[in-house]
Structure 1
């Protein structure tokens, strides 16, 4: 994430959310909800002595950034978001049940492999049972299948391969378990599309930049389009030759441009 910011103009804060990366306990689901994470972000801001800040996030990070922004709006100078994802049922069904499967049927068959035919009517629940069950072999097989499905669909560039970390057991265990935990619980939001409604009601004039790949299969462009209509102060930049990955050249260029533009507009208010 640091690569998208000029360190001479920004004081940059990065954190590993509960159960991920260097956070402990690893892959823990207890006391791990969207609202726990929002509280963690606010605690980090207070601990750092920052009065307000620019909030940045991509994919699930865009969800979390928006949840924070609609809860602590006065602390947000602006938002830079990529690959918008609002944890709606339609988005979950598209990627994890039926939709993206039509574009990547070969990768989808690998995703389906750990799940018996009789359980494939609700793949989210079928994976959740295995990822939270007592059988360690079934758990890691499900975690690999879940994670590699996303890894295969991240980019439109080159052959269908997954980033190296999507083959590491520790990474895929936390990645799959925590994602599935959040998705089964609807992101811990009160209603479907809760974030879209809240963005319309609360973000008002909060400036935002949304960067989204035209051919994003993981989080389709339609969600970013709807968010932009609900949030007039946000500017949507559609990258014509990109998918979901933050590492595609057009995505990188737009994100760096966005953070540079915010630094130009807000100047010394970024520095503490």
Structure 2
């Protein structure tokens, strides 16, 4: 556990070769956590020192966001957490692999500390832009009108869905928070349902996990991911950092326009579109592994 000045304690782990090339994995969400550690399969353990952490407020890091720690959870705070971990592990620079929200955090970190990043491998690409947030919470309802009607039924006229749910998930009434988290989980499990690997059912099995995840996601999205300006507008600053962008054509939650725009703005990046996959399929992970391996040779 890595202690932070504000009292947060971050769970981190390393595996692979202690003298290998450092590589950091950034999970999705915000609030997804490392889970059972399957991310390690994408790294050659003989070549890499593999680093993972549960981002603040989730997973095995404490306190959880819903335990009074939501306001301290921002993108700048996460970037500072990553720098503190890098310094704690005495790593000069690392390759960063992010998935979904982890792509946004990886990009924000690389822009803040370009000298500490050797390469970026981004899968199921997001950049945290307002257009992406409005798509996944509003516009994609045109594809799933039944589910979106359930989600938006209680939203006052003229209010963004994301702002409404961010408020509900801070309500002092536990029942209100629980119902909002359940509704959010239902929406999350719907808008990924066109993925060929989709499985029906709730995204998070426990009510507490549902509430924590929903609170973090809506907190970040309601604040435009705490980004001072769109990351794509700054992508040209990444010209000295090689990157691979891997994305599924059938990712309805995050259309391919996002990695395409990022690739066009980022000299030195390469874009791979997988025609028959959605938000992080098996083929995408195979290409992710190949890209990471290529940077290690």
Normalised by the length of structure 2, the TM-score is: 0.81
From 107, 125, 140, the equivalent of 2:147 is: 107
**Alignment correspondent of 2:233:** 197
**Alignment correspondent of 2:195:** 156
Distance of aligned partners of 1:190 and 1:233 in 2 relative to their CA distance in 1, 3 Å threshold: same
TM-superposed CA distance for 1:121, in Å, is: 4.1
- Confirm or deny that 1:35 pairs with 2:68: no
* Contact 2:247 2:272 survives alignment (8 Å): yes
From 255, 275, 282, the equivalent of 1:220 is: 255
- Confirm or deny that 1:235 pairs with 2:270: yes
Aligned residue for 1:255, secondary structure, equals helix
**Alignment correspondent of 2:105:** 64
- How many residues are treated as equivalent by the alignment? 255
Provide the rounded CA distance (Å) in 1 between the counterparts of 2:251 and 2:198.
16
**Alignment correspondent of 1:81:** 122
Aligned residue for 2:246, secondary structure, equals strand
TM-superposed CA distance for 1:106, in Å, is: 3.5
* Contact 2:263 2:269 survives alignment (8 Å): yes
Provide the rounded CA distance (Å) in 1 between the counterparts of 2:197 and 2:274.
17
From 274, 279, 282, the equivalent of 1:249 is: 282
- 5+ long unaligned stretches in structure 1: 265-272
**Alignment correspondent of 2:184:** 146
From 166, 177, 184, the equivalent of 2:204 is: 166
Distance of aligned partners of 1:117 and 1:207 in 2 relative to their CA distance in 1, 3 Å threshold: closer
Provide the rounded CA distance (Å) in 2 between the counterparts of 1:42 and 1:109.
42
Higher strand proportion (structure 1 or 2): 2
Q: RMSD of the alignment, in Å?
A: 1.7
**Alignment correspondent of 1:25:** 63
Provide the rounded CA distance (Å) in 2 between the counterparts of 1:122 and 1:235.
35
* Contact 2:188 2:203 survives alignment (8 Å): no
Q: Could you say which structure has the greater relative contact order, defined with CA pairs below 8 angstroms and 6 or more residues apart? A: 1
**Alignment correspondent of 2:34:** none
Higher helix proportion (structure 1 or 2): 1
Provide the rounded CA distance (Å) in 2 between the counterparts of 1:118 and 1:71.
38
Provide the rounded CA distance (Å) in 2 between the counterparts of 1:142 and 1:182.
16
Which 10-residue stretch deviates more, 221-230 or 141-150? 141-150
TM-superposed CA distance for 1:165, in Å, is: 4.6
Provide the rounded CA distance (Å) in 2 between the counterparts of 1:10 and 1:51.
14
Aligned residue for 1:83, secondary structure, equals strand
* Contact 1:215 1:241 survives alignment (8 Å): yes
* Contact 2:64 2:212 survives alignment (8 Å): yes
Which 10-residue stretch deviates more, 133-142 or 150-159? 150-159
* Contact 2:238 2:267 survives alignment (8 Å): no
Normalised by the length of structure 1, the TM-score is: 0.88
* Contact 1:165 1:171 survives alignment (8 Å): no
